[in-house]
């Protein structure tokens, strides 16, 4: 039976969180003399002399309406990297506890573990890029607090089988984090609908990908109210800037524009896959549920440098486990994709 109190670090249980001026007062007022701000304003065209809402209430309400998740089940962080780090801080005792990752996967799970002095156990994906459930099960110990799953996975692009994730949720007394940064491009449904069923589930999403707000750095964690309250207790008081909150609120009013981008990206992804498969030096294009393709080349390093020489930057994943010989290529605009294919065709002529 999942019991969050058995996972929570003792120092976090007794932690008195920082209480900001805006935490202590809620409501309307004419004069604010509580937070030592510059009362005259700011030189910017839009004034930013006041601290932002520390709990991002308006933004959470808007996200709640879009995602169909109650606002009290939402945590907003400075990118997804902040809730990743906070989950370590809340539940993993440095030098004692461990977590499980499933490489190849997003690198910050391991980086944050190392920063927090938490041991990492690796359960590599199977050759078909799915979870090795038996191996994961064999790695779980009483000190295992978190299991990290990226779905759709970065860098492979595939979604994990839902029944495998649910098997872990049903049989692991720690927390399972499902990182859905690329879920908007996927054929699979989000796991956020399962939050009521699984109190040990945390779902990560972001406004950086499909919503086109990477520069604002807004990550979303969806979880039980207990977990969300813990994250709110240990986060910095003003972790999302006023600029980011305002711009995100405005962007969430343009869902149809975002859906158009998603449809175009998926269409371009499929067309790009077809054209890449026709190139003689491409060995394999892996199926993708994300806004990128993992492509296996005969000589990935040479092709990588040829693309760089022509002003096109892709991600070299050729030295990553199970991705040997592969480059990860983001699906660009139609014009960018045509330019990519033109340059690769020219490379083919040079090598022939």
Percent of the chain at pLDDT exceeding 70: 99
* CA 147 – CA 178 distance, rounded (Å): 9
Domain-terminating residue out of 204, 236, 253: 253
Residues 157 and 236 in one domain: yes
**Per-residue confidence band for 135, with pLDDT thresholds at 50, 70 and 90:** very high
User: pLDDT band at 351, cuts 50/70/90?
Assistant: confident
The two beta strands, 74-78 and 218-222, are antiparallel
Q: Which of 35-44, 77-86, 104-113, 143-152 has the lowest mean pLDDT?
A: 35-44
Helical (H) or strand (E) element with 316: strand 315-316
Pair (170, 319) in one structural domain: no
State residue 33's pLDDT score. 79
d(CA 350, CA 352): 6
Cβ distance 305 to 108 under 8 Å? no
Residue from 237, 245, 248, 251 nearest 48 by CA: 245
Q: Verify that 130 and 262 share a domain, yes or no.
A: no
Give yes or no: residues 112 and 56 share one domain: yes
Q: How high is the mean pLDDT of the chain?
A: 95
For 209-300, strand residue ranges (E) read 218-222, 282-285, 292-297
| Averaged pLDDT for residues 44-56 | 87
| Band of pLDDT at residue 352, cut at 50, 70 and 90 | low
* Cβ atoms within 10 Å, residue 16: 6
- 184 and 222 in a single domain? The answer is yes
Indicate whether 144 and 249 sit together in one domain. yes
Q: What is the pLDDT of residue 20?
A: 82
Q: What is the structure's pLDDT at 36? A: 85
Are residues 96 and 230 located together in one domain of the fold? yes
**How confident is the model over 161-165, as a mean pLDDT?**
98
Co-location of 241 and 318 in the same domain: no
Is the pLDDT at 321 greater than 80, yes or no?
Answer: yes
Give the per-residue pLDDT at 35.
Answer: 84
Residues 246, 260: one domain? no
CATH of the domain at 273: 3.90.1150.10
- Give tens-digit pLDDT for 191-215: 999 999 999 999 999 999 999 999 9
- 180 and 114 in one domain? yes
| Predicted local distance difference test score (pLDDT) of residue 15 | 92
Q: Work out how many domains the chain is built from and give that number.
A: 2
User: Per-residue DSSP letters for 153-186?
Assistant: -TTT-PPPPHHHHHHHHHH-SSEEEEE-TTGGG-
Band the pLDDT of 137: cuts 50, 70, 90. Answer: very high
Tens of pLDDT, residues 212-262: 999 999 999 999 999 999 999 999 999 999 999 999 999 999 999 999 999
- Contact yes or no for 99/148 (Cβ under 8 A): yes
pTM for the full predicted model: 0.95
Q: What's the confidence (pLDDT) of residue 23?
A: 74
Residue 123 has pLDDT above 80, yes or no: yes
Name the residue range of residue 116's domain: 4-253
pLDDT tier, 67 (very low <50, low <70, confident <90, very high otherwise): very high
- Rounded average pLDDT over 77-104: 98
Whether 340 and 332 have beta carbons less than 8 Å apart is answered as yes
Is 80 exceeded by the pLDDT of residue 27? Answer: no
Q: Which residue has the higher pLDDT, 30 or 126?
A: 126
Within this chain, do residues 244 and 289 fall inside the same structural domain, yes or no? no
| Pair 90, 114 in one domain | yes
Of 200, 227, 253, the one marking the end of a domain is 253
Residue at a domain's end among 253, 284, 306:
253
CATH, residue 12: 3.40.640.10
Residues 6+ apart with CB under 8 A from 260: none
DSSP structure string for 95-162 = TT-EEEE-SSS-THHHHHHHHTT-EEEE-PPPTTS---HHHHHHH--TTEEEEEEESS-TTT-PPPPH
Q: Rounded to an integer, what distance in angstroms lies between the CA atom of residue 111 and that of residue 218?
A: 19
Q: What tens digit of pLDDT does each residue of 265-281 get? A: 999 999 999 999 999 99
Q: Report the distance separating Cα 206 and Cα 310, nearest Å.
A: 31
The mean per-residue pLDDT over the stretch 61-90 comes to 98
């Amino acid at each position: 039976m999942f019991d969050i109190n058995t996972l929570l670090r003792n120092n976090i249980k007794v932690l008195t969180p920082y209480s900001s001026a805006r935490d202590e007062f809620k409501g309307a007022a004419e004069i604010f003399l509580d937070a030592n701000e510059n009362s005259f304003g700011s030189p910017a065209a839009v004034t930013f002399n006041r601290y932002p809402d520390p709990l991002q209430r308006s933004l959470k309400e808007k996200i709640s309406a879009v995602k169909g998740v109650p606002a009290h089940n939402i945590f907003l962080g400075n990118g997804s990297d902040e809730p990743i780090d906070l989950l370590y801080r809340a539940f993993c005792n440095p030098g004692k506890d461990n977590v499980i990752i499933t490489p190849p996967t997003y690198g910050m799970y391991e980086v944050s573990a190392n920063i927090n002095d938490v041991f990492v156990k690796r359960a590599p994906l199977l050759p078909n890029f799915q979870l090795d459930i038996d191996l994961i099960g064999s790695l779980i110990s009483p000190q295992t607090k978190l299991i990290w799953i990226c779905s759709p996975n970065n860098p492979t692009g595939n979604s994990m089988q839902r029944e495998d994730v649910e098997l872990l949720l049903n049989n692991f007394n720690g927390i399972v984090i499902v990182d859905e940064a690329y879920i908007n491009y996927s054929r699979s449904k989000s796991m956020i609908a399962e939050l009521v069923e699984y109190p040990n589930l945390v779902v990560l999403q972001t406004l950086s990908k499909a919503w086109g707000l990477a520069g604002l750095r807004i990550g979303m964690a969806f979880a039980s109210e207990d977990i969300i309250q813990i994250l709110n207790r240990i986060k910095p008081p003003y972790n999302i800037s006023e600029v980011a909150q305002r711009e995100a609120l405005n962007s969430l009013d343009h869902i149809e524009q975002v859906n158009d981008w998603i449809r175009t990206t998926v269409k371009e992804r499929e067309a790009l896959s077809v054209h890449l498969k026709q190139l003689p030096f491409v060995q394999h294009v892996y199926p993708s549920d994300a806004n990128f393709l993992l492509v296996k080349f005969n000589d990935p390093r040479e092709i990588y440098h040829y693309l760089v020489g022509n002003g096109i930057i892709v991600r070299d994943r050729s030295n990553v486990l199970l991705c040997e010989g592969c480059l990860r290529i983001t699906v660009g605009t139609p014009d960018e994709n045509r330019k990519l294919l033109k340059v690769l065709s020219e490379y083919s002529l040079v090598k022939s």
